[in-house]
């Protein structure tokens, strides 16, 4: 999933021959999961039609403050458009528009949006070779850069005039990559390795039967996906689950038993920065595993169980610089039991949820958690979708890492 997914992107299109590329750029932004609105200079409509861009963006295209064809229509509020945007990308950005941006001229809707924008502004210059190299253009770049605007470098190649040199607008794929890289550099978990466990474990009784629990893995998978979006490299160690992930910076390791999860978690722990153990690991396993299916008999079946190795406690004893997070699913004396587990296993944070709380528990899409820190601070949250709970947990960890 692209880091552009879910972003509101305002695309500014100015009057240059490279405006035809804006159609491809809109398509790629939408494909990356972004919400796209387009604002054009009036002259840009001579190069690419609003109909094309509105069809690709699935949103109305704006090019003027008012609708001349409908005297009763509301005006196009440049402030609302600018504040809606998480990113403002002007591509192509002509010499004319760039000069106006540098000098605060506001004679069209696009420029008014620019002057009202509080989000990062990216611009992709597009002009002929001599215009690109002109001293006034260089000064414009310097002024815009000093304002905090971010230039997407023009490329070297054949220009509309037939000349070959700098001034060609970056290709849409290059612009997408530039935006993604720029966002990644600001993500709070960039450069961090996070190990997450999720789902149940199955402890074999015989080749057919096992001891397990009702965990779906939804909470752990939500944390893993949220951590990737925040810039982390994620190792997700999952017990049996029907869930799947498709993230470039996420490695999914499938395991079945508590022993397999123990071994995989330990193999990645020393190199990680954060470990979040949300899996529902079996506390016991059959002492003897039958190699053949156990046949039904007239009398009762007695299983002898032995303890599994405690993954969380072993990591707590081993940790050095890692931030270690455990989960506690309780049915009675919830807070007291969670605090005991937190201290006993040398955790930095424990996430408590109770089966007594409506909206919490296995297989649900929601959860209700209370965060308990190693200094016994208690932070309760209301019932939320697990995707939001995942963000709450990670934001708390980020705050602690930067405290």
The correct CATH number of 193-288+306-401 out of 3.40.50.10300, 3.30.360.10, 3.50.50.60, 3.40.50.720 is: 3.40.50.10300
Q: Where are the domains of the chain?
A: 8-186, 193-288+306-401
- pTM value > 0.75: yes
Q: Which residues are the active-site residues?
A: 213
pLDDT score at 49: 96
Confidence band, pLDDT 50/70/90 cuts, at residue 298: confident
In this predicted model, what pLDDT tens digit does every residue of 15-38 receive, in sequence order?
Answer: 999 999 999 999 999 999 999 999
Whether residue 159 has pLDDT greater than 90:
no
* Non-local CB neighbours of 365 within 8 Å, separated by 6+ positions: 218, 385, 386
pLDDT score at 329: 86
Give the mean pLDDT of the chain.
93
Q: Does domain 8-186 have CATH number 3.30.390.10?
A: no
pLDDT score at 99: 97
Distance CA(154)–CA(123), nearest Å, equals 10
pLDDT score at 330: 82
Token pair, residue 47, equals: 């190069």
Distance CA(350)–CA(355), nearest Å, equals 16
Residue that wins the pLDDT comparison between 71 and 372: 372
Mean pLDDT of 279-296: 94
pLDDT score at 351: 96
Residue 368 dihedral angles phi and psi, to the nearest 5°: -130, 115
* Non-local CB neighbours of 368 within 8 Å, separated by 6+ positions: 353, 354, 357, 358, 359, 360, 381, 382, 383, 384
Whether residue 50 has pLDDT greater than 80:
yes
Mean pLDDT of 281-303: 92
- DSSP output for 342-376: HHHTT-SEEEEEETTSTT-STT-SEE--EEEETT-
> Residue 75: CA atoms inside 13 Å, Cβ hemisphere, count?
6
pLDDT score at 336: 92
Whether residue 94 has pLDDT greater than 80:
yes
Q: At what angle do helices 95-103 and 135-146 cross, to 10 degrees?
A: 50
Domains 8-186 and 193-288+306-401 share a fold: yes
Choice among 54-68, 77-91, 280-294, 354-368 with the minimum mean pLDDT: 354-368
In this predicted model, what pLDDT tens digit does every residue of 231-270 receive, in sequence order?
Answer: 999 999 999 999 998 887 899 999 999 999 999 999 999 9
pLDDT score at 34: 96
Whether residue 113 has pLDDT greater than 60:
yes
pLDDT score at 73: 56
Confidence band, pLDDT 50/70/90 cuts, at residue 2: confident
* Non-local CB neighbours of 273 within 8 Å, separated by 6+ positions: 192, 193, 194, 321, 322, 323
Mean pLDDT of 196-209: 96
What are the E-state strand segments in 29-146? 35-40, 61-62, 87-93, 121-125
């Amino acid at each position: 999933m692209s880091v552009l997914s879910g972003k509101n992107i305002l695309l500014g299109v100015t009057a240059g021959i490279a405006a035809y590329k804006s159609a491809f750029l809109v398509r790629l932004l939408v494909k990356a999961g972004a919400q796209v609105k387009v604002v054009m200079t009036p002259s840009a409509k001579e190069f690419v039609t609003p109909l094309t861009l509105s069809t690709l963006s699935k949103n109305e295209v704006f090019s003027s403050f008012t609708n001349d064809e409908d005297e009763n229509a509301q005006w196009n509020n440049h402030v609302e458009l600018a504040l809606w945007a998480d990113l403002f990308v002007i591509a192509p950005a002509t010499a004319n528009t760039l000069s106006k941006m540098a000098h605060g001229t506001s004679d069209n809707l696009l420029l008014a949006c620019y002057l009202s924008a509080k989000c990062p502004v990216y611009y992709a210059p597009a002009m002929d070779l001599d215009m690109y190299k002109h001293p006034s253009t260089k000064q414009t770049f310097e002024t815009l850069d000093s304002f905090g605007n971010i230039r997407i470098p023009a490329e070297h190649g054949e220009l509309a005039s037939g000349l070959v040199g700098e001034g060609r607008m970056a290709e849409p794929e290059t612009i997408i990559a530039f935006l993604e890289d720029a966002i990644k550099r600001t993500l709070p978990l960039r450069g961090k390795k996070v190990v997450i466990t999720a789902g149940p474990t199955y402890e074999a009784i015989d080749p057919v039967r096992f001891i397990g629990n009702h965990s779906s893995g939804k909470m752990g998978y939500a944390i893993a996906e949220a951590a990737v979006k925040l810039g982390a490299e994620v190792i997700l160690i999952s017990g049996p689950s029907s869930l799947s992930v498709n993230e470039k910076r996420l490695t999914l390791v499938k395991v079945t038993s508590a022993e397999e999860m123990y071994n995989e978690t330990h193999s990645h722990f020393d190199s990680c920065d954060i470990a979040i153990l949300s899996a529902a690991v079996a506390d016991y396993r059959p002492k003897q595993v039958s190699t053949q299916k156990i046949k039904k008999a007239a009398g009762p079946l007695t299983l002898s169980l032995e303890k599994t190795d405690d993954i969380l406690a072993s990591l707590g004893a081993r940790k050095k610089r890692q931030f270690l997070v455990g989960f506690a699913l309780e049915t009675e004396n919830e807070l007291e039991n969670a605090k005991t587990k937190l201290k006993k296993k040398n955790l930095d944070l424990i996430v408590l949820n109770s089966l007594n709380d409506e909206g919490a528990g296995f297989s649900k899409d929601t959860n209700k958690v209370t965060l308990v820190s190693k200094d016994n601070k208690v932070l309760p949250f209301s019932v939320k979708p697990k995707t939001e709970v995942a963000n709450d947990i990670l934001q708390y960890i980020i705050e602690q890492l930067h405290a």
